[in-house]
Amino acid sequence: MINKANDPSLKSWIEVPNNSDFPIQNIPFGIGKTDHHKPRVCSRIGDQVIDLKTLFVLGYLKNLPFDAEDFDTSSLNNLMRHGKKATSDLRNRLSKLFSMGFNDLKDNEHHVAQVLMPIDQVQMCLPIQVGDYTDFYSSRDHATNVGTMFRDPDNALLPNWLWIPVGYHGRASSIIPSGIPINRPKGQQKPNEESDPIFGPCKLLDFELEMAFITFDGKPLGENITTAEAKNYIFGMCIMNDWSARDIQKWEYVPLGPFLAKSFASSISPWIVTLDALEPYAIDGPQQEPAVMDYLRYEGKHHYDIHLEVAIQPEQAEETIVCQSNYKHMYWNMAQQLAHHTINGCNIRCGDMMASGTISGPTPESFGSMLEISWKGTKPVQMKDGSERKFILDHDTVIMRGHCEKNGVRIGFGEVSTKVLPSK
């Protein structure tokens, strides 16, 4: 069934700049606040933020299963608790209201003035109250690079990697929105094998280019979600910078995995782009060998062609793009990740966040972390201001961007931008 809100010919009566991430075919959801309004649910077309609480109060969202509290709130969780059909119907209603030729709202200038807010007057907030956060490890190129660097190049992938979507439980409390700076973390490090560990600020701070998806309420404890059902339980996606302290991680991750090296911060883009909006960009995935077990088999297109880039901006200097990658490089897709996550009966709740793991492609320019780009610090990266980077320095800003493009329509996520401050 064709979703009319994805029609490439649709135009909005709101002006949309060229190469905007937010045409009328997108209609993402987020939480915004202004000097006059506390945080509330918003959408966006072009450079205009749409105040959905005011739109509801003015009567434009009638006959949808929402009430005022679903929009007058500081997270999208209330909205998402109504499920896939309700949020899809809301997106379709917004598409209709703001389409060229539909004048119910357009012709009421007083209402338009109340509903639309210029993006430069809106502060975007954390969009989701994240209950649980799972970080997968689903890029074959990334896993191969790490295995080559730290283990045996001839056996870079661990024996289980081609059989299961490897993942671990992360820290939800330190997920933050774009624009919030972080302090360089501190922890134990072991610079060489002969000496005792030392304590101090991380010296090998790294970004990890990831995408994350957010779930609706799942099934009760003890039941599982199949790959065929997965899309009905996924609300949308955002870009994630899953920060990593490589020197702390190297010392602490054996035998149980990263802890302080990962829990200090994960930064996300503030707009959640729905799976509905991404459907035109779904593509076939890679051939999986060996053949996966029955519960991980899937039909249809569950991978997505999302162009991704990472830039480093030294303080008071021009940014340098250090990575051009694509989400299509993932080996394990979201449907498989969700099916694996729940196959043991684990229950998924509204607002759970699941990240892809570092997204690396097959070529050096598509590597999704400084660990790979600088190859463990042996290949420094030249910045436009003449400086070099092996890892991230204090006062650097890391910027990640992502978008899909097809049939003249560009659907984007905006950016996640985070400045690194010195350790406290």
Catalytically active residues, by annotation: 142
Phi, psi for residue 23 in degrees, rounded to 5 = -75, 180
397-415 burial, b at 16+ Cβ within 10 Å, e below that, comes to bbbbbbbbeeeebbbbbbb
Measured distance CA(404)–CA(362) in Å, rounded: 20
Residue 230 CB neighbour total at 10 angstroms: 23
- Cis amide leading into 362 (omega within 30): no
User: Which residues are CB-neighbours of 287 under 8 A, at least 6 positions away?
Assistant: none
Measured distance CA(242)–CA(176) in Å, rounded: 10
DSSP element (H, E) containing 397? strand 397-406
According to DSSP H, which parts of 273-413 are helical? 275-278, 334-342, 370-373
Residue 354 CB neighbour total at 10 angstroms: 24
Q: Cβ distance 246 to 206 under 8 Å?
A: yes
Measured distance CA(111)–CA(90) in Å, rounded: 19
Nearest in space to 51 (alpha carbons), one of 60, 215, 13, 272: 60
User: Which residues are CB-neighbours of 419 under 8 A, at least 6 positions away?
Assistant: 181, 182, 395, 396, 397
